[in-house]
Amino acid sequence: MPRKFFRRLTPNRHRIVNQPFLRPVAQFLGDPNLWHLNRRSVSGGVALGLFLAFIPLPGQMLIAATAAIFMRVNIALAVAMVWATNPITIPPLLWLAYQVGATLTGWTLPPPAGGEMSIGYAMGQLPHIWLPLGIGLLTMAFVSSIAGFTIIRLLWRLNIAAHKRRRQAQRRLRLRRTHSQQRR
């Protein structure tokens, strides 16, 4: 079931390779492993995308696509997962990353004089908060990457087990019907 869902959402490999603006890199994009939806490529793409989502670099999507090519994981999922951090989610995630980093390093930011937090105050404190923020972002990148990888692998396994149980139940039902028809 998840494979059919993802297959509908992901672009066709042949259509991508034949795009005129992608001709210089088409030889790298033609690798079927970059577009297959299997346990390894999906979990790897999710892990890579989540890791890069918490590394604040310009061009995160391009970096995710390039890294996916080298790691041979699903490009579409790696690029999509980078959007876990977007303009709406980044402020609370940066605050959370600072809190995680401050907890790990023991550093705290003194409260503003007026008691009200502002962008100007935060920018003025940047020399003091870069280390806890960086450690928090790296910690969150590793944790979210490992969690995403593990959750995808677990869900994939559970889906396969459920599919196997359904198939076995159908097989038993067919056998019962066959036996009941033979007895008549």
Question: Residue 86 is which amino acid?
Answer: N
What is the average per-residue pLDDT within 123-137?
87
pLDDT confidence of residue 177: 80
Whether the model pTM is above 0.85: no
Residues 98, 133: Cα–Cα separation, whole Å: 4
Sign of the CA dihedral with 76 first, then 77, 78, and 83 last: positive
pLDDT confidence of residue 33: 74
Q: Considering its fold, how many domains does the chain have in total? A: 1
Residues 107, 101: Cα–Cα separation, whole Å: 8
Collapsed DSSP state (helix, strand, coil) of residue 106 = coil
pLDDT in tens, 30-54: 677 777 788 999 999 999 999 999 9
pLDDT confidence of residue 21: 62
What is the average per-residue pLDDT within 6-30?
66
Collapsed DSSP state (helix, strand, coil) of residue 151 = helix
The domain in which residue 45 lies consists of: 2-183
Residue 104 has pLDDT above 60, yes or no: yes
